Amino acid sequence: MADSKAKTTKKNDRKNDKKIAWLKYNAKQLKEVEALSQEYIDFISDCKTERECVDEIVAQAKKLGYKDLATVKKVKAGDKLYAVNKGKALALFVVGTKPLEAGMKILGAHIDSPRLDIKQNPLYEDTDLALMETHYYGGIKKYQWVATPMAIHGVICKKDGTNVKVVIGEDPKDPVVGISDLLIHLAQDQMDKKASKVIEGEDLNVLVGSIPLKDEEKEAVKKNVLKLIADRYKVDEDDFMSAELEVVPAGRARSYGLDASMVMGYGQDDRICAFTSAKALFNCTAPDRTAVCILVDKEEIGSVGATGMTSVFFENMVAELMDKLGDYSELKVRRALQNSHMLSSDVNAAFDPNYPSVMEKKNCSYLGRGMAFSKFTGSRGKSGSNDANPEFIAKLRAALDKYNIYYQMAELGKVDQGGGGTIAYIMAKYNMEVIDSGVALHNMHAPWEVSSKADIYEAEKGYEAFLKEI
């Protein structure tokens, strides 16, 4: 008797941030979880570059009545707008009834993911094989990217001003490409190397062909590959100089686990937060303060460049929007930014029973326990992190609890085990309230990352609650 009572108490006393989301769903919600996950699986299967993400989300936005901010003259409350930055970053707005000066409710995430970028002089031939040089993008364990089917996505920009979109290796009829690994039989020296040296960056060369072009003496295989590319895309070798081609894992994302409770797919960092943030904004109508979703590029290499979060693009778009609302001043733009609240989303490291030593169990995230919030990220004593204000966290807890959203407060692993950065600190410099939020993953930055379908659902609902309540 005492025992069972103790058990019940223990179960009910489970801390709010350690509840398993699967246990709260009714049959209808379970269907919603699956439907949203299938939509997400399609999104990350079709959108493997920042450009593809922007194109898809803009297409969805247009269907919902969003207009290009650059083309509208006047804006009023209730209007839905989008602004694209160089095809690789995006801001979506649902204009609120309150003046912009009152601040915005901002959902932010990044749509670039680790991958191998094809170099500007890529093609060469060695021993009758044609290969392409790559330079990896973002933090990767290089040994994970060999001996696996890869696709090439991107654009080739020609001198005549036309941009050719490239996708090779996704259609089941398409060939794939890849990087070879050394056979175990001859790997005695390789197997003694440190993991960081087993496969080195300069050796990530993609094998793309082995048939020589007839009647050619020099580099006949390379010439044959060039001919194939020219036939399919009407470009020549020099056009690689002005190309942005990304080598990514080929094939679709899919359900994972015998109970199909999870998703395995490429680029979930951070398209899982981008997808759910955009979805939540699409479900937001007539907000009091303007609701925003910003999806940026270059997070994986420090948020630099014109399309990264450190660019003034977003600030400029806020100024444009205010101008078109007929209420522009420099001071009001500053107030609009300062009075804003933001969920800066990025993925978190879910506890993995295979690697328990890097986690502190009370303060890490878990698959299936809902959205993950980090008061801070960073490394070596929080260095480089935004440290969210507890007053804002308390407001958020109230908003999430009101809608029974499950969430967890989580640090990325143990103290001094490593760490990571996000875009949160960049937006915090406007003096707005920002917290790191997101979804927990296994296999982060590996070619195939793993998420929980329950967390995708909780995140989307959580973002909606934020847009309603903050």
Q: Which residues of this chain interact with Mn ion, rule CB under 5 A?
A: 269-270, 346
Residue 271: in which H helix or E strand, if any? Answer: helix 268-282
- Report how far apart, in Å, the C-alpha atoms of 312 and of each of 294, 305, 464 are: 13, 10, 27
Q: Which is nearer to Mn ion, 69 or 272 (CB)?
A: 272
Find the shortest distance in angstroms from Cβ 389 to Mn ion: 22
In sign, the C-alpha dihedral spanning 285, 97, 63, 69 is negative
What does 191-212 look like in DSSP terms, one character per residue?
Answer: HTS-HHHHS-GGG-PEEEE-PP
Find the shortest distance in angstroms from Cβ 140 to Mn ion: 10
- Are the CB atoms for 170 and 151 separated by under 8 Å? yes
Find the shortest distance in angstroms from Cβ 453 to Mn ion: 20
Query: What letter represents residue 32's amino acid?
Result: E
Q: Which is nearer to Mn ion, 433 or 449 (CB)?
A: 449
Q: What is the DSSP letter of 380?
A: T
Find the shortest distance in angstroms from Cβ 366 to Mn ion: 19
Q: Which is nearer to Mn ion, 246 or 346 (CB)?
A: 346
Q: Which is nearer to Mn ion, 44 or 321 (CB)?
A: 44
Find the shortest distance in angstroms from Cβ 300 to Mn ion: 5
- Are the CB atoms for 372 and 348 separated by under 8 Å? yes
Q: Which is nearer to Mn ion, 370 or 421 (CB)?
A: 421
Q: Which is nearer to Mn ion, 52 or 320 (CB)?
A: 52
CA distance 194 to 203: 16
CA distance 222 to 213: 8
Give how far the C-alpha of residue 106 lies from the chain's centroid of Cα atoms, to the nearest Å.
16
Find the shortest distance in angstroms from Cβ 97 to Mn ion: 33
What does 210-221 look like in DSSP terms, one character per residue?
Answer: -PPPTT--SSHH
Q: Which is nearer to Mn ion, 156 or 296 (CB)?
A: 296
- Are the CB atoms for 304 and 293 separated by under 8 Å? no
- What is the SS3 assignment for 246-269? EEEECCCCEEECCCCCEEEECCHH
Q: Which is nearer to Mn ion, 80 or 271 (CB)?
A: 271
State both tokens at 353.
Answer: 């029973």
Q: Which is nearer to Mn ion, 244 or 269 (CB)?
A: 269
Find the shortest distance in angstroms from Cβ 299 to Mn ion: 6
Find the shortest distance in angstroms from Cβ 447 to Mn ion: 13
Neighbours of 72 (CB within 10 A): 13
Q: Which is nearer to Mn ion, 320 or 346 (CB)?
A: 346
CA distance 332 to 108: 22
In sign, the C-alpha dihedral spanning 403, 406, 412, 414 is positive
Neighbours of 295 (CB within 10 A): 28
Find the shortest distance in angstroms from Cβ 110 to Mn ion: 6
- CA neighbor of 290 nearest in space, from 322, 323, 316, 328: 322
* Omega before residue 270 within 30° of 0, cis: yes
Find the shortest distance in angstroms from Cβ 239 to Mn ion: 30
- CA neighbor of 416 nearest in space, from 362, 358, 334, 338: 358
Find the shortest distance in angstroms from Cβ 138 to Mn ion: 6
Q: Which is nearer to Mn ion, 221 or 342 (CB)?
A: 342
Q: Which residues pair with 137 in a beta bridge?
A: 115
Q: What is the DSSP letter of 290?
A: P
